[in-house]
Each structure stands twice: as C-alpha cells, then as structure tokens.
Amino acid sequence: GAGVSQSPRYKVAKRGQDVALRCDPISGHVSLFWYQQALGQGPEFLTYFQNEAQLDKSGLPSDRFFAERPEGSVSTLKIQRTQQEDSAVYLCASSLTSGLTYEQYFGPGTRLTVT
C-alpha cells in the first residue's frame, strides 16, 4: 500500500514569507509526528498528533510554527514569516498507534530553503 507522502518535496521561500507543508499519513494510522532535520544532524521532534488532537507541541521552535490535523488524517505544518534558520528538511511520520514498540513510517521529507 501507499506510504507516507509529503508535498511539496522542495520549497524555496524568501525570508518573511509564509509556507505550508503537507503530510498524508498511511491510511488508518492514529499517530502522526513532525520532525525537523537540519543539515548534517539527526531529526528533532517538533509535534505529535493522536488522531486530530495535538498532544505534544513541545518541540516547535517558536510561535511562528503551527501544525494541524483537523480530521485526523492529513496534517499541515505552517511556518509564518520564515527565517533563514528555518531552512531544513521537515519530516512527517505516522504510526498505527501510540505504543512504544510500534514502528514509525517516515515520508521523504520537504526540503525548505529560506533565502
């Protein structure tokens, strides 16, 4: 079946622009995660949804970052007034449920470059 998909794959934004990144998780997966991966680093947790509820947003770096999952499936990560330090790959992952042994399935990521 289809895996996790993300769009766009690449996004170039001028500093100060708003961007929206989309994630389509695997159908039926309850849990959805967003991560930020800077160049040469490991992914860092941003936020977590269980169905439509955002249960943890402790990793969002500032109030310019906002995520939603209104119907418990597709999720959007929005970054307002982008800054150069926002340049990174944004990864989405989904999991069947929230148990600690359940595998997370990752999408290919969206590479955001802020100029």
Partner 1 sequence: GNSVTQMEGPVTLSEEAFLTINCTYTATGYPSLFWYVQYPGEGLQLLLKATKADDKGSNKGFEATYRKETTSFHLEKGSVQVSDSAVYFCALPNSGGYQKVTFGIGTKLQVIP
What is the smallest separation between the CB atom of 28 and partner 1, expressed in angstroms?
A: 16
What is the smallest separation between the CB atom of 99 and partner 1, expressed in angstroms?
A: 8
Q: Which residues contact 12 (CB under 8 A, 6 or more apart)?
A: 112, 113, 114, 115
- Taking the least distance from each CB to partner 1, the nearer of 19 and 107 is 107
The residues that touch partner 1, with contacts defined as CB under 8 A, are 3-4, 31, 33, 40-45, 48, 50, 55-56, 91, 93, 95, 98-109
The secondary structure of residue 84, as a DSSP letter, is G
